[in-house]
């Protein structure tokens, strides 16, 4: 016996035929099934029901995939093999999603094989990624121009994915079909990166699920998965505010147990990670996306560009931050970009600066006195009054963007005068050599 994946209509709960319909179905199928698989009478029903599922109408193939068991003889059924565990890449990288297939019996013509890659976007939903039938290949959606078959000899269905994006994270299904025979394998693509908690200027617990998705995207991230949050907790993430995850659940990680954060342990005090004094990931379960509001846990990956701290000659209000970065061929950094620079580029600066969402933060790789505690991380000063003149600004320069003022430049007013003449309009600031 071997598992063979078949396709049926979701929710229809197909049941075995009975009576005359059963006898008629067996009579019709027997010339195809019995001869091919050399099945005896005792195995007739299992084989017939397997073929009934495999030959479901085209309209049913958009439903949920199910698993049935059929008895095999010398049928030459196709077998798909994928890598165990997961493959790991980063944003902007190139990765191979491994998938190979072979036949258990007689030789088959590989030219007639249909290869299909899909991404699991929901437990009951798949998104098309790539399809190949002989020499005809087609990629779909955002995978156009980035996905192609590796083509490493007969039986290789591996998919090469270039310029990996945050949205590529997840599980992929490799399906190989030859006439009535098919099999599938699953590959999980993970990304190197960092999980960060986020809430907007409006305060904590203000985001619905959809708003949390949008907030993460605006800060150069995506909603983190439960697996990514758990990995971050194992790395020491401690955050006593519940946030949305990409599967619609609400959780939060506690590395240092305390009463206001789910208690000190014991039954019911923790979800993933256990309920002892060692902490864990507290889990509120799946929530009502439209009606409940929490924070968000976002995930971001490797930066193609560079984050740097810019300190103008004078402290700037938030409205001057964009002009300061623009003069250096950059834009005000987003929260996710600062976290990525801290985690992956080891940016360490004990000076707070403006970020694109109006918050003020600074990254610490090597903890030290007067730099916000004994643990590394990105410190946050919240959302200061945007009119206050304070801090510098963290800027992000995209790869290939030139720096129009590479050192030796500052901010001031053309014509001199300094501050002696009284207040000046920041809108009239211009980059000046100092």
Q: Give the residue from 297, 300, 366 showing the smallest Cα distance to 339.
A: 300
Task: Say how many domains are in the chain.
Answer: 3
Each residue of 165-185: pLDDT tens digit?
999 999 999 999 987 788 999
DSSP 405: S
183 touches 199 (CB < 8 A): no
Q: Are strands 99-103 and 78-82 parallel, antiparallel or unpaired?
A: antiparallel
pLDDT band at 243 (very low <50, low <70, confident <90, very high): very high
Q: Is the per-residue pLDDT at 200 higher than 80?
A: yes
Rounded CA separation 101/305 (Å): 39
Instruction: Identify which has the larger pLDDT, 331 or 265.
Output: 331
Q: How far apart are CA 237 and CA 219, in angstroms?
A: 19
Residues 322 and 378 in one domain: yes
Q: How far apart are CA 265 and CA 268, in angstroms?
A: 8
Same domain membership, residue 215 and residue 126: no
Instruction: Say how many C-beta atoms besides its own lie within 10 A of residue 334's C-beta.
Output: 20
Of the chain, the percentage scoring pLDDT greater than 90 comes to 54
pLDDT tens per residue, range 108-132: 555 678 999 999 998 789 999 999 9
Long-range contacts of 362-368 (CB under 8 A, 24+ apart): 363/338, 363/339
For the beta carbon of residue 415, count every other beta carbon within 10 angstroms: 9
When mean pLDDT is compared across 6-20, 158-172, 307-321, 331-345, the lowest value belongs to 6-20
DSSP character at residue 224: P
Structural contact between residues 297 and 224, judged by C-beta atoms closer than 8 angstroms: yes
Q: What is the pLDDT of residues 320-374, one digit of tens each?
A: 999 999 999 999 999 999 999 999 999 999 999 999 999 999 999 999 988 988 8
Same domain membership, residue 144 and residue 225: no
In a domain, 340, yes or no: yes
CATH number for 370: 3.10.100.10
| CB-based contact 182:5 (threshold 8 Å) | yes
Token pair belonging to 227: 């697996």
Q: Establish if 64 belongs to a structural domain.
A: no
Which residues lie closer than 8 Å to 153 by C-beta, 6 or more apart? none
Which are the contacts of 346, defined by CB distance < 8 A and separation ≥ 6?
A: 365
pLDDT in tens, 16-40: 344 444 444 434 434 443 343 344 4
Same domain, 241 and 328: no
235 and 208 housed in the same domain: yes
**Can you give the pLDDT at residue 187?**
95
How far, in Å, CA of 149 to CA of 132, rounded?
8
Position 401 scores a pLDDT of 86
Full residue range of the structural domain in which residue 386 is found: 303-397
What pLDDT is attached to residue 104?
Answer: 66
Which of 150, 165, 191 is the last residue in one of the domains? Answer: 191
Regarding whether 213 and 123 lie in a shared domain, the answer is no
132 lies in the same domain as 156: yes
Same domain, 185 and 201: no
> Between these two residues, 400 and 41, which has the higher pLDDT value?
400
């Amino acid at each position: 016996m071997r598992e063979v994946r078949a396709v049926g209509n979701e929710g229809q709960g197909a049941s075995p035929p009975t009576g005359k319909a059963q006898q008629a179905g067996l009579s019709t199928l027997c010339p195809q099934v019995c001869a091919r698989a050399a099945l005896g009478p005792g195995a007739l029903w299992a084989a017939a029901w397997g073929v009934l599922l495999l030959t479901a109408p085209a309209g049913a193939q958009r439903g949920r995939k199910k698993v049935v068991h059929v008895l095999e003889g010398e049928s030459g059924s196709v077998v798909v093999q994928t890598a165990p565990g997961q493959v790991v890449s980063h944003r902007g990288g190139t990765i191979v999603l491994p998938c190979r297939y072979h036949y258990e019996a007689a030789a088959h013509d590989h030219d007639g094989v249909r290869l299909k890659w899909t991404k699991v976007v929901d437990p009951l939903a798949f998104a098309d990624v790539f399809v190949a039938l002989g020499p005809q290949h087609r990629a779909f959606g955002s995978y156009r121009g980035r996905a192609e078959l590796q083509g490493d000899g007969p039986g290789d269905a591996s998919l090469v994915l270039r310029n990996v994006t945050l949205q590529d994270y997840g599980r992929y299904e490799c399906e190989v079909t030859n006439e009535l025979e098919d099999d599938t394998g699953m590959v999980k693509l993970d990304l190197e990166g960092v999980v960060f908690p986020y809430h907007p200027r409006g305060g904590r617990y203000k985001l619905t699920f959809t708003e949390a998705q949008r907030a993460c995207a605006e800060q150069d991230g995506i909603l983190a998965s439960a697996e990514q949050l758990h990995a971050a907790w194992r790395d020491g993430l401690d955050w006593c505010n519940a946030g949305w995850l990409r599967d619609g659940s609400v959780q939060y990680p506690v590395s240092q147990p305390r009463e206001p954060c789910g208690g000190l342990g014991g039954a019911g005090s923790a979800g993933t990670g256990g309920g002892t004094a060692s902490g864990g990931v507290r889990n509120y379960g799946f929530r009502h996306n439209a009606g409940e509001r929490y924070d968000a846990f976002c995930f971001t990956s490797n930066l193609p560009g560079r984050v740097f701290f810019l300190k103008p000659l004078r402290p700037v209000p938030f409205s001057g931050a964009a002009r300061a970065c623009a003069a250096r061929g950059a834009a005000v950094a987003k929260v996710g970009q600062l976290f990525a620079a801290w985690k992956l580029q080891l940016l360490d600066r004990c000076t707070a600066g403006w970020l694109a969402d109006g918050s003020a933060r600074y990254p610490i790789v090597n903890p030290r006195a007067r730099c916000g505690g004994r643990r590394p991380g990105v410190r946050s000063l919240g959302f200061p009054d945007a009119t206050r003149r304070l801090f510098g600004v963290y800027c992000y320069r995209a790869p290939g963007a030139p720096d129009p003022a590479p050192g030796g430049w500052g901010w001031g007013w053309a014509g001199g005068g300094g501050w002696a003449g009284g207040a000046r309009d920041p809108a009239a600031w211009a980059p000046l050599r100092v």
